[in-house]
Structure 1
Amino acid sequence: MGNPNCGKSSLFNSLTGLNQKVGNFPGVTVDKKTGQSSLDAAINSTIIDLPGTYSLYPRRADEWVAYRVMMGVDEDIKPEMVLLVADASNLKRNLLFCSQIIDLKVPVVVALTMMDLARSKGIEIDVPGLERELGVPVIPVNPRKNKGIDALKKALAQTAHLNATSPRRDFISNKELAPEAVSGVQRLFPALSDYASIHYLINHENFPLPDATQNSIEQLEIDNKFNPTKSQAEEILQRYTRIRQIMQQNVVEPDPLQKKLFTEKLDNLLLHRVWGYIILLVTLFVLFQSIFWLASYPMDLIDSGFGSLSGWLAGILPEAWWSDLLLNGFLAGLGGILVFVPQIMILFGLITLLEDTGYMARISFLSDKLMRKVGLNGKSVMPMISGLACAVPAVMSARNIENKKERLLTILVTPLMSCSARLPVYTILISLVFPDKYFLGFLSVKGLVMMALYLLGLVMALLVSYVLKFMIKVQEKSFFILELPIYRAPRWLNVGTTMIEKAKIFVLDAGRVILVISMLLWFLSSYGPSGRMHSVETKYAQLKEAAKTDDEKAELDRELSTEKLENSFAGIIGKTIEPAIKPLGFDWKIGIALVTSFAAREVFVGTMATLYSVEQSDDDATLRSKMQNAVRADGTKVYTLPTALSLMVFYVLAMQCMTTVAVVKRETKSWKWPLIQVGYMTFLAYVTSLLVYHLF
């Protein structure tokens, strides 16, 4: 446990060896994370990383997770020991939470992080003296450099071997805050400490207790005139009085008039009311330019490699259903996955870089003023930026927002942010209709279009939030308090690990879905009602007999492939929904992709790869060239500028992700909000695509 941004997740990763997300901003840990660690030859431990919290008075949903565990009322987790992480550079604030945990009378070991930062600030800590005052082991550690980890494990093991003894003395005299009421609670729960008894008096309504016990505690409050607000205020005052004494005796702090730290000087520029926003826009611009510029070479290599592999296999494999499945189902789907891995890796690498340096929290600070005008606050920016990677964890991270209305608005608009699953769709469509041109020699046209699509999602999210804030009737005051972390050099190993992990997740998780749907689509597009398919084959068999030249026969083969696809099961589905999507400029093949990509947006590319592979016999052609050459029944190109723009806008705004719908239902505990979300996003996508298509 520990305050947000104190190095807790880094220490958890160091102890357990698990590769987990470690962001350099408050609120990265929004759920329980579990890992195994061997403390010594005799003890294997299960370590649980609880959400960061500043005190034992929870307000946010994630703070309640940690609080319920510490109060012993969580059904799944009963902690035997607490590893409390404290930031040495902010010791006074961290000791408040530390003292509260100690007074719960659970075995505690304190890990003191950020010692290097404390020294750079001129802070010197007498660790043995601090240990004596707290009455628990205090171990300095540096998880980023793996320093002090062995000593910490030893302290944890020793505490465990001592049968996990709890602290011997209270930090403050908790019982004196409400003597009679505390004694009454302890008659009901003899094992509770004085401080835990006070929390039962304050929050018992939130604990799973029998009605008779609830009534008894309620009566104790009435009989003893227990005032929760007064007791809490008195407790905090007493704790800080004691903390000041400890700090005076054991901590040497620098003169407050000393020169500002580098972080503060840099913030004067990066958080400036004018330059701050200009730098933010430039940062985002560079991010989207880099996605195209850096990824173009490996993407072209992968794309041409799969085209050559398909052509080579087509030349050596016999004509059979299984070779057709291999080439046009499995290989086409696999190529549709792997070609976009470079862009996914670059996007996640750059976002991790922003998190690791500490700039991501500044984006929240800069955005607060704008966010408030549309019903959100600065904390909404974190889920929305996370939505650039994936909407699922982004929606979950909205738990950090205390205000219920702002949290609900954030959940409802976050899926409008363009996630990495949309990236393959944007990339293939942009490459079809926009040239490889550069303004001023370095501004890529494709990069500018990509940035425009991401900005469209952001602008729409803000507009929708502005409208919904008048419709959602929740009256609750909102405060925006954010701890800005110091600027740090990025951990390149962490950036590299994140890029590899996200690529693996994309290939393995999204890839499985894409491959399954690709092979299912191969079946649906290769087979159809026997009567229809037989009629088509008979028709073209007669035409081939009448054909005189090889060119005529080759043309008839192409026409046969097209007509068989149109009469297949997939073709029938596509033709059925075509009238509804034709006003948007979409044909029936795009219609099939819209249906299949509800499983996952990136399935669009796999669907196109399968449909065009089944229809076209040119096996060594890339997906881009097949889509470039696609024509409608009247001979006009399918992927014109109006159609591509309409389709991209549809994918920016439509809610095409079953997993996100399920997570929104779980977070809101109702089907009402996900259904509203699907409804408004589909309507918005359809109307906007219609306008874009006819405008162009």
Structure 2
Amino acid sequence: MKEVLSRQGLVKVALIGNPNSGKTSVFNRLTGLNQKVGNFPGVTVDKKTGSFNLDNNTQAKLIDLPGAYSLYPTSIDERIVLDILTNKEDPLYPDVIVYVADATNLERHLLLLSQVQDLGIPVILALNMADLASKGGYKIDSAAITKKLGISVVETNGRSGGGVSEIKKEILNKFNHKVIPSGGFKFDNGSTKVLGEIKGKLKVENDYQAILYAHHYQNLGHLNSDEKAVIEDIIAKNNFSRIKAQVDETMARFDKIVPLVEKVVVNNSNAETSFTEKLDKILTHKVFGSIIFISILMVVFQAIFAWSSYPMDLIDEAFASLTELTKSLLPEGVITSLITDGIIAGLGGVLIFIPQITILFLLVALLEEVGYMSRAVFLSDSIMRKFGLNGRSIVSLISGVACAVPAIMATRSIGDWRERLITIMVTPLMSCSARIPVFTVLVGFAVPQEYYFGIFNLQGLVVMGLYIAGATAAILSAYVMKQILKTREISYLVMELPTYKMPHWKNVGITVFEKVKTFVFEAGKIILIISIFLWFLASYGPSDRMEQVEKQVATEATTNNWDETKIEDEIASRKIEVSYAGYLGKAIEPIIEPLGFDWKMGIALITSFAAREVFVGTMATIYSVGSSGDDEQSVVQRMATEVNPETGELVYDQATSFSLLVFYLFAMQCMSTLAIVKRETKSWKWPTIQLVYMTGLAYISSLVVFNIFS
């Protein structure tokens, strides 16, 4: 939005409506890609804003407010809507409201409209999904609605863009004429004295705003402590019962809404509803619905896990080639090492997740568009809620088996702050694909290559057990956090099951584009900084020690007639021991020694914080496996023969291998995940707690396992 625009040429428009009303489609039709995603101040709820031209001299700034069912909030989303609409000083307070309602289910969508209209803000009613209403046999008399409510009505089709130009005309007309709505419902709940005193003492002009102050003053952020104290005195003095007043108001509104809908809506057919209801008898069935739900989740998981492997390999190879090209073009030195091992490696660590993020949000967006996601949430909610989670949490937990980064981003659909936070905190315990290289190497040391009944591989069964252990830890951790994190907010699963329909591909495309862009530019910055820091630790150390290493290797190379490759590998192996990372490994050795780990494993624990799969590459460098470095088979062979010089026993015996397995199973060793948790929670507090509790869980579990097998 250009700041040079004068107030007269800028219209602030709010898009309001129930969840599943089609607001997103209307928003995308009005703004296209000219939109920005951020967060509302102080919360992690997405704030989508965009802009579009009304005419040559007037531009509209559009904000898509979170979906809400009423101005009596039961979630953070609804509280945001209430805060903005009751505060004229809020920078997002609108000049005009476009209220989006599902034309196929008008009665349910008019409660919030009646409340919004009573606030005295110019409102345009967008009857969305008009095409579906027509196909379903609904005939809506828009002129009658206008006459009854004194409100402008536009029939819209978010899928095709129908009605968008009419909305723009109505916005411009409302803004230019500044007409205060004369219609509406005008309820005061018999609380005339209370609202009169609030209006007088707080200088509030609107009756319904005063009523909302009486109900919600404790949670309205724009009221100061003195104003809240005044309202509290007024309520106490007049014996104002907020619960009774809310019930009376809601019932009174529906007493007007129901007969109104009966007069303006004619339903000549029930075909569309019958199709949805018939399908729901199967898809929401306790047994068959659950089987179908699990099958769909497995398809999603398989897609994220399998389909992304090829593009991820291409990205990996592209960055490897870019690294080699850069090294060939630039002279050896600090700058070249920084560019190749720090910046390029860091960028690769960011961009390699794009295929998984794209596939996940593509599939989630498709399920949301066709109307199935609401059913999936409904099916799993009762079980997940017992552990402090939400029906929507199931999508993130299953996705976390592929990668925790897109899985945590998917928690944005969870409205309750506690349930969303718990989901974010436990999702990394699900065994992601990055753990597979570690599992592959260590299971080979700890478990013999045996078969049961000729088909069940013992090593494969152990790996499956590790995945089950991770999922169990996630569920149990969620239950513990449920007991710790207290909230006065009561969580309900209030949602509408929309009719099934074909996906709107433009909505899907814009959603995926925005999610990928957010990850690359927000979390990517943090990941890149940490990558450069890790490069510095592993590449540098005290200069005298580094020079001494090179002299020692040169002397031994001459004596033993080493070739150039052997010399380079030996220098790399010894330099990492005297690097700052090496010193860190030595420093933490007393702490990790009870787990069966030595300083070399300590370095791997530190460097694999960049990503768990870095464990293999780190061990390859430490053991001077060869220039290839990442050859897993070579690493296995060298690690399998590594002997403790003090005891003469194998370093990677069964006890140590199982101990390492359990540590990597539970430990938070993924800076990408911490970066995205910081981005989603808008604070370092929660990723820090996550790092501490997961590391503690990993340490204690590893200690127990090591002592059992020793």
Q: Which category of TM-score, normalised to the shorter sequence, fits these structures?
A: 0.7 to 0.9
What is the aligned partner in structure 1 of residue 274 from structure 2?
A: 261
Which of 461, 469, 487 aligns to 2:500? It is: 487
Amino acid at match of 1:541: A
Amino acid at match of 2:82: Y
Structure 1 position 634 matched with structure 2 position 648: no
What is the aligned partner in structure 2 of residue 425 from structure 1?
A: 434
Secondary structure at 1:77 match in 2:
coil
Structure 1 position 373 matched with structure 2 position 390: no
Shift in alpha-carbon separation, 1:561–1:145, aligned structure 2, 3 A: same
What is the aligned partner in structure 1 of residue 247 from structure 2?
A: 233
1:253-652 to structure 2, matched below 5 A, reads 253-254=267-268, 261-307=274-320, 310=323, 318-376=331-389, 378=391, 381=394, 388-390=404-406, 398=414, 400-401=415-416, 408=418, 411-418=421-428, 423=432, 425-426=434-435, 428-429=437-438, 456-469=469-482, 479-547=492-560, 549=561, 551=563, 554-581=565-592, 588=599, 591-592=602-603, 594-595=605-606, 603-604=611-612, 631=639, 634=643, 642=658, 645-646=661-662, 648-651=664-667
Distance in 2 (alpha carbons) for counterparts of 1:510 and 1:445? 39
Which of 242, 250, 257 aligns to 1:243? It is: 257
Q: What does the per-residue CA deviation read over 1:241-275, in whole Å, with 9 as the maximum and x for residues that have no partner?
A: 2222322321102467x785222222222222222
Range 629-638 or range 35-44, more displaced: 629-638
Secondary structure at 1:247 match in 2:
helix
Distance in 1 (alpha carbons) for counterparts of 2:356 and 2:660? 20
Report the Cα offset of residue 103 of structure 1: 1.2
Structure 1 position 146 matched with structure 2 position 156: no
Structure 1 position 155 matched with structure 2 position 170: yes
Shift in alpha-carbon separation, 1:290–1:301, aligned structure 2, 3 A: same
Distance in 2 (alpha carbons) for counterparts of 1:469 and 1:480? 17
Which of 135, 138, 152 aligns to 1:137? It is: 152
Shift in alpha-carbon separation, 1:79–1:200, aligned structure 2, 3 A: same
Amino acid at match of 2:87: G
Structure 1 position 100 matched with structure 2 position 115: yes
Question: Structure 1 regions of 5+ residues with no counterpart?
Answer: 23-27, 402-406, 436-442
Amino acid at match of 1:146: G
Shift in alpha-carbon separation, 1:593–1:627, aligned structure 2, 3 A: same
Distance in 2 (alpha carbons) for counterparts of 1:596 and 1:237? 62
Q: What does the per-residue CA deviation read over 1:26-77, in whole Å, with 9 as the maximum and x for residues that have no partner?
A: xx99343322222222211221221211112112222111101111266443
What is the aligned partner in structure 1 of residue 212 from structure 2?
A: 199
Q: What does the per-residue CA deviation read over 1:591-649, in whole Å, with 9 as the maximum and x for residues that have no partner?
A: 44644676xxx545568768967996966665767866764853979899747743541
Q: What does the per-residue CA deviation read over 1:207-251, in whole Å, with 9 as the maximum and x for residues that have no partner?
A: 444666555544544565544333333332332222223223211
Distance in 2 (alpha carbons) for counterparts of 1:445 and 1:499? 40
Q: What does the per-residue CA deviation read over 1:523-577, in whole Å, with 9 as the maximum and x for residues that have no partner?
A: 3333321332233222223223334x454x6434422321122111121112222
Distance in 2 (alpha carbons) for counterparts of 1:577 and 1:54? 54
What is the aligned partner in structure 1 of residue 55 from structure 2?
A: 40
Shift in alpha-carbon separation, 1:192–1:589, aligned structure 2, 3 A: farther
Shift in alpha-carbon separation, 1:523–1:212, aligned structure 2, 3 A: closer
Range 535-544 or range 683-692, more displaced: 683-692
Which of 128, 135, 141 aligns to 2:143? It is: 128
1:1-20 to structure 2, matched below 5 A, reads 1-18=16-33
Task: Answer yes or no: is the 8 Å Cα contact 1:376–1:409 preserved in 2.
Answer: yes
Amino acid at match of 1:84: Y
Distance in 2 (alpha carbons) for counterparts of 1:307 and 1:217? 65
Amino acid at match of 1:295: S
Q: What does the per-residue CA deviation read over 1:307-342, in whole Å, with 9 as the maximum and x for residues that have no partner?
A: 555556656655444444444444444445544543
Distance in 1 (alpha carbons) for counterparts of 2:44 and 2:141? 30
Distance in 2 (alpha carbons) for counterparts of 1:512 and 1:232? 47
Report the Cα offset of residue 125 of structure 1: 0.6
Report the Cα offset of residue 9 of structure 1: 2.5
Task: Answer yes or no: is the 8 Å Cα contact 1:390–1:419 preserved in 2.
Answer: no
Q: TM-score, normalised by structure 2?
A: 0.79
Q: What does the per-residue CA deviation read over 1:169-196, in whole Å, with 9 as the maximum and x for residues that have no partner?
A: 3424x35733333333333356522222
Q: Paired residues, what number?
A: 667
Range 223-232 or range 45-54, more displaced: 223-232
Shift in alpha-carbon separation, 1:321–1:500, aligned structure 2, 3 A: same
What is the aligned partner in structure 1 of residue 449 from structure 2?
A: none
Q: What does the per-residue CA deviation read over 1:498-518, in whole Å, with 9 as the maximum and x for residues that have no partner?
A: 555544445444544444444
Distance in 1 (alpha carbons) for counterparts of 2:226 and 2:664? 59
Task: Answer yes or no: is the 8 Å Cα contact 2:581–2:606 preserved in 1.
Answer: no
Distance in 2 (alpha carbons) for counterparts of 1:296 and 1:119? 44
Amino acid at match of 2:576: L
What is the aligned partner in structure 1 of residue 127 from structure 2?
A: 112
Report the Cα offset of residue 344 of structure 1: 3.7
What is the aligned partner in structure 1 of residue 10 from structure 2?
A: none
Amino acid at match of 2:260: I
Task: Answer yes or no: is the 8 Å Cα contact 1:303–1:339 preserved in 2.
Answer: yes
Shift in alpha-carbon separation, 1:305–1:160, aligned structure 2, 3 A: closer
Distance in 1 (alpha carbons) for counterparts of 2:699 and 2:571? 33
Distance in 2 (alpha carbons) for counterparts of 1:307 and 1:215? 64
Shift in alpha-carbon separation, 1:246–1:651, aligned structure 2, 3 A: same
Shift in alpha-carbon separation, 1:628–1:483, aligned structure 2, 3 A: farther
Q: TM-score, normalised by structure 1?
A: 0.81
Secondary structure at 2:17 match in 1:
coil
Distance in 1 (alpha carbons) for counterparts of 2:252 and 2:370? 37
Structure with larger RCO (C-alpha < 8 A, sep 6+):
1
What is the aligned partner in structure 2 of residue 166 from structure 1?
A: 180
Task: Answer yes or no: is the 8 Å Cα contact 1:361–1:484 preserved in 2.
Answer: yes
Amino acid at match of 1:567: V
Shift in alpha-carbon separation, 1:304–1:431, aligned structure 2, 3 A: farther
Distance in 1 (alpha carbons) for counterparts of 2:681 and 2:329? 50
Shift in alpha-carbon separation, 1:270–1:532, aligned structure 2, 3 A: same
Distance in 2 (alpha carbons) for counterparts of 1:357 and 1:281? 18
Report the Cα offset of residue 675 of structure 1: 6.8
What is the aligned partner in structure 1 of residue 266 from structure 2?
A: 252
Shift in alpha-carbon separation, 1:660–1:595, aligned structure 2, 3 A: farther
Amino acid at match of 2:538: S
Range 152-161 or range 292-301, more displaced: 292-301
What is the aligned partner in structure 2 of residue 87 from structure 1?
A: 102
Task: Answer yes or no: is the 8 Å Cα contact 1:653–1:685 preserved in 2.
Answer: no
Task: Answer yes or no: is the 8 Å Cα contact 1:352–1:498 preserved in 2.
Answer: yes
Distance in 1 (alpha carbons) for counterparts of 2:462 and 2:59? 53
Report the Cα offset of residue 157 of structure 1: 0.9
Secondary structure at 2:195 match in 1:
helix
Range 192-201 or range 487-496, more displaced: 487-496
